[in-house]
Amino acid sequence: MKNNMVTKFLTLALAGAMTLSLAACGSKSDEGSNDAQQGGDESGKTYKVAIIKQLDHASLDEIANAVAAELDKIAADNGVTIEYDITSGQNDQTTLKQLSDQAIADQVDAIIPIATTAAQIAALSAEDTKTPVVYAAVSDPEAASLTGIDYVTGTSDALNTGFIMDMMFTQNPDVAKVGLLYSLSEPNSTKPIADAKAYLDAKGIAYVEQTANTNDEVVAAASALIADGVDAVFTPTDNVIMAAELAIYEDLAKAGIPHYTGADSFVRNGAYATCGVNYTDLGAKTADLAYSAITDGMDGMEDYYLIDGGIITVNTDTAAAMSLDYSCFDSMGTVVEVTTTKD
C-alpha cells in the first residue's frame, strides 16, 4: 500500500506537483535485492553505481565528488571494483527520469541521487526492480514521501533554522526586517521557510518574501530585497538560489546586507555565514551506505540518516566588504573561515 501511494505521489511530482513532509525511522526489507547484495567475501567483485545530481552547483558538486572519492576508497580497501558515472539532470524532471531509467536499464547495483527531486524520481524508476536508492542531501525525507520504502534510504541535511536565525540576531540585534529568498519549486525550502516565519513572528520582526525559479529571477529577487531595505537575508538549502549565489553576493554585500544560508557551499560562493552540514562528510556517509546496501542488503537500515551540522562557516571576504566582526559567533560553536571561490 505504501509503495502504491508513493508511486501516485511521484507520478504527480513528475507532472510538477511535488509536496513534501518527515517520518520516523523504520527498518528495511531485503526483498527484491539482487545477488550482489549479499554479505561475505566481496574481493574481486565489480559493482556499478549511478550518481545523479539534480543540477550542477557548488553544493551538489561537492557531494558528488565526495561520494566518488569514498567509493574509490571503499574499492581499494575491499579489493573490489566500483564503476560509477556522475550525471546531472539540470533541474529538469524529464531528464532526471531518463537518467534514472537508464541506470535501471544498465542494471546498476545502486543509484545515488543527490537532492530531493532527483531522489523522488530515482525511487519511482527503481520501484519494480527494487534497486537500492541511497540518496544524498534530502532535507525533509518524510515530506518528500521517501520514507517507508524498503529499497530507499539516504542522508538528510535537515537545517537548524532557529540556530541560523539566532546567528543573524547575534550579529545584529537591531535587525528589523528580514528578506526570505527561496524557490517555490525547491522542496528543501518548504519547512525551513515556515520555521523562519514562525521564528520572526514570535520576535515581532517583519519579513519580506521573494521567490525565484531561474538565475535571472534570483537576481531580480535579490534586487527587490535590496530595494525593500531589508537588514539581512535568509535562504535555506535551496538548490535554485545556490546555483545563482555568485550572481547576487556582491550586490548584497555592497548594500550591507548579510546573506545567511543553509550550507557552507553558499558561503564559499560569497554568502556571509551559515551553520550547517559539511557536504564532504555527507557525501562520504552516503557512499558508505550505498556500499552496505549493495553488499549486505537493505534489511535493518534506517529510513534515513541525519547528518549533524554544528559548524559555523563565515566568508571573510564578504565580512570585510561589510565591515562585520564575526567574533560574535565564537561562543556559538566552531567557526570556520572561508574565502570566495567562483566555481
pLDDT at 40: 52
Examine the domain organization and report whether 78 and 173 are in the same domain.
no
Assess if residue 105 is contained within a domain. Answer: yes
pLDDT at 16: 40
What is the rounded distance in angstroms from the CA atom of residue 333 to the CA atom of residue 2?
Answer: 41
Assess if residue 19 is contained within a domain. Answer: no
What is the rounded distance in angstroms from the CA atom of residue 297 to the CA atom of residue 281?
Answer: 23
Assess if residue 23 is contained within a domain. Answer: no
Examine the domain organization and report whether 98 and 200 are in the same domain.
no
Examine the domain organization and report whether 180 and 224 are in the same domain.
yes
What is the rounded distance in angstroms from the CA atom of residue 320 to the CA atom of residue 315?
Answer: 9
Examine the domain organization and report whether 123 and 213 are in the same domain.
no
Per the structure, the complete domain to which residue 176 belongs is given by 161-276+310-338
Q: What is the pTM assigned to this prediction? A: 0.75
Examine the domain organization and report whether 239 and 333 are in the same domain.
yes
pLDDT at 11: 40
Question: Residue 28's beta-bridge partner residues?
Answer: 299
pLDDT at 298: 95
Assess if residue 3 is contained within a domain. Answer: no
- Kindly give the interhelix angle for 116-125 and 93-105, rounded to the nearest 10 degrees: 40
* Residue 33 φ then ψ, to 5°: -75, 150
C-alpha grid cell, residue 177: 526586517
CA-wise closest residue to 149 among 1, 297, 306, 305? 1
pLDDT at 137: 94
Assess if residue 290 is contained within a domain. Answer: yes
pLDDT in tens, 145-192: 999 999 999 999 888 999 999 999 999 999 999 999 999 998 889 999
Examine the domain organization and report whether 226 and 214 are in the same domain.
yes
Say which residue the cell 536508492 belongs to.
133
Mean pLDDT of the chain: 89
Task: Please list, in sequence order, all residues whose beta carbon lies within 8 angstroms of the beta carbon of residue 93, skipping any fewer than 6 positions away.
Answer: 13, 14, 16, 117, 121
pLDDT digit string (tens) for the chain, length 343 residues: 334 334 433 443 444 433 333 233 333 333 333 333 344 567 789 999 999 999 998 889 999 999 999 999 999 999 999 999 999 999 999 999 999 999 999 999 999 999 999 999 999 999 999 999 999 999 899 999 999 999 999 999 888 999 999 999 999 999 999 999 999 998 889 999 999 999 999 999 999 999 999 999 999 999 999 999 999 999 999 989 999 999 999 999 999 999 999 988 899 999 999 998 888 999 999 999 999 999 999 999 999 999 877 789 999 999 999 999 999 999 998 999 999 998 6
Examine the domain organization and report whether 38 and 180 are in the same domain.
no
Residue 211 and residue 184 in contact, taking contact as beta carbons nearer than 8 Å? yes
Total domain count for the chain? 2
Assess if residue 6 is contained within a domain. Answer: no
Amino acid letter, 21: S
